[in-house]
Structure 1
Amino acid sequence: MKTSIIIADDHPLILKGLNDFLIEKKYNVLASAVNGKEAFDLIERHRPEIAILDIQMPFLTGLEIAKKSKELNYETKIILITFEKDEAIYNQAKSLGIYGYVLKEFALEEIEHCIDAVSKDIPYFSQELLSYLEAEEAPIEIESLTPTEIDVLKHISENKTAKEIGELMFISFRTVEKHKSNINRKLNLTPTKYSLLFWAKENKSHLK
């Protein structure tokens, strides 16, 4: 059985389209909701592996549901689907531990890739969104990185693990972890589980 999922969107056509698509692809869609309160009730009742939520919904937004779920330590991984290309919303989503962020205009093209990544514990953020938010100039901190550290970041942006990076660069796992620690320090990042992954994906075009 594929990943268990609940979905929520207050727009009936989008909800039906997403529901039909996921069922056609043999996903285990447990239930659907038309507002945030119903969506949170479904998460509490079913504890699905993944919840695909619209950001803007009546009663509770997707972000508010994510916040409540995080406070209650629910293990459901949340994917947001939205038309919003807003940096503040994106940053808030990251801070709440959102696993996926997909733009609605690309939802049916990207949702399978997103679910696949999230099921493997890898966050997925729409490349279209990242490209839109990307600053024209490279962050000044990049200048402090060595060529080896840049290479490590390139591999991280491609979802490579420390073990895989070590094999590709012919260095030990421990050396990779040391590079990651140095990069976090130079970029002034809080060393959370996905801090380098988010930074690397957001700045991928500058990692030449």
Structure 2
Amino acid sequence: MSNNTPSPSIIIADDHPLLLKGLSDFLIEKNYNLIGSGSDGREAYNLIAKKKPEIAILDIQMPFMSGIEIAQKCKNQNLETKIVLITLHKEKDLYKKAQELNIFGYILKEFALEEIEICIKTVSEGIPFFSEKIKELIGESSEDVNNLTLLTPSEKKILKLIAKDKTNREIASQLFISYRTVEKHRSNIITKLKLEPKTNSLLIWAKEHNEKLL
């Protein structure tokens, strides 16, 4: 980690002792703020609930609770820890489920050490990181779909309303947020979608991709 960037607090969990030790050693060697590790899903969830780390890096399949089940429980309990799943699995439905639960990262075990640092950096900035390798494997490497995964639930909500021709003031009123907040969200969406900052670029994009926003 760079000395001037505060390292996010992290917990890790994996039921394979060697993989857990390997990941732990790697993060400590790189000076990450590792505050706990667990060897099954129950331990992992308890660590998240107790220590409230910024990021939890979890194996997707563990005894007692899977990484997906932990993510679901965190969502139900309004825990703000950002979940990153490390998996051997390349099934499309698991990847889709991860996206539905607002999981912040999804990386394949075989590329974990290559990708973990960029994943932590991206996730700690509030931007989801889904391994390019997994997107290629499940045939979702089109840039538009990739960029959509960068949007927060609030940004997607705003994009849906933009697609319905709502003005900033109407969106602000409907979502009970300020006009300025809507403008800030619009600006972030344009940046994440890599759009030209022209007057109607966001409206055109929202209408063209409306079916992907549902």
1:36-90 alpha-carbon deviations (Å, 9 max, x no partner): 0000000000000000000000000000000000011110000000100011111
> What is the match of residue 203 of structure 2?
178
Which residue of structure 2 lines up, in the alignment, with residue 32 of structure 1? 37
**Cα offset for 1:26?**
1.1
Q: What's the counterpart of residue 48 of structure 1?
A: 53
Unaligned residue ranges in structure 2 (runs of 5+): 1-5, 151-186
Cα 1:50/1:155, change in 2 over 3 Å: closer
Q: Which amino acid aligns with 2:82?
A: K
SS in 2 for 1:189: helix
Alignment RMSD: 2.7
Q: Which secondary structure does the structure 1 equivalent of 2:209 belong to?
A: helix
Gaps of 5+ in 1: 139-149, 192-208
Residue of structure 2 aligned with 1:95, choices 100, 121, 143? 100
- Secondary structure of the residue aligned to 2:96 is helix
TM-score (normalizing by structure 1): 0.75
SS of the counterpart of 2:126? coil
TM-score, normalised via structure 2 length = 0.73
CA distance in 1, matches of 2:87, 2:97: 14
User: For residue 202 of structure 1, what is the aligned residue in structure 2?
Assistant: none
Distance 1:14 1:74 in 2: 26
Cα deviation 1:161-180 (Å, max 9, x = unaligned): 445479973514xx233123
**What secondary structure, in the 3-state scheme, does the structure 1 residue paired with 2:213 have?**
coil
- Residue 79 in 1 paired to residue 84 in 2? yes
Q: In 1, are the aligned partners of 2:128 and 2:149 still within 8 Å (CA)? A: no
Identity of aligned residues (%): 46
Given that residues 166 and 176 in structure 1 are in contact (C-alpha distance below 8 angstroms), is that contact kept between their aligned partners in structure 2? no
CA distance in structure 2 between the partners assigned to 1:97 and 1:19 by the alignment? 25
Over 3 Å counting, the alpha-carbon distance change for 1:30 and 1:104 in structure 2 is: same
Q: Which residue of 2 aligns with 1:4?
A: 9
Using a 3 Å threshold, how does the CA distance of structure 1 residues 166 and 59 change in structure 2: closer, same or farther? closer
Once the 2 structures are TM-superposed, how far is the Cα of residue 120 of structure 1 from its aligned partner?
A: 1.1
Contact 1:80 1:101 in 2 (8 A): yes
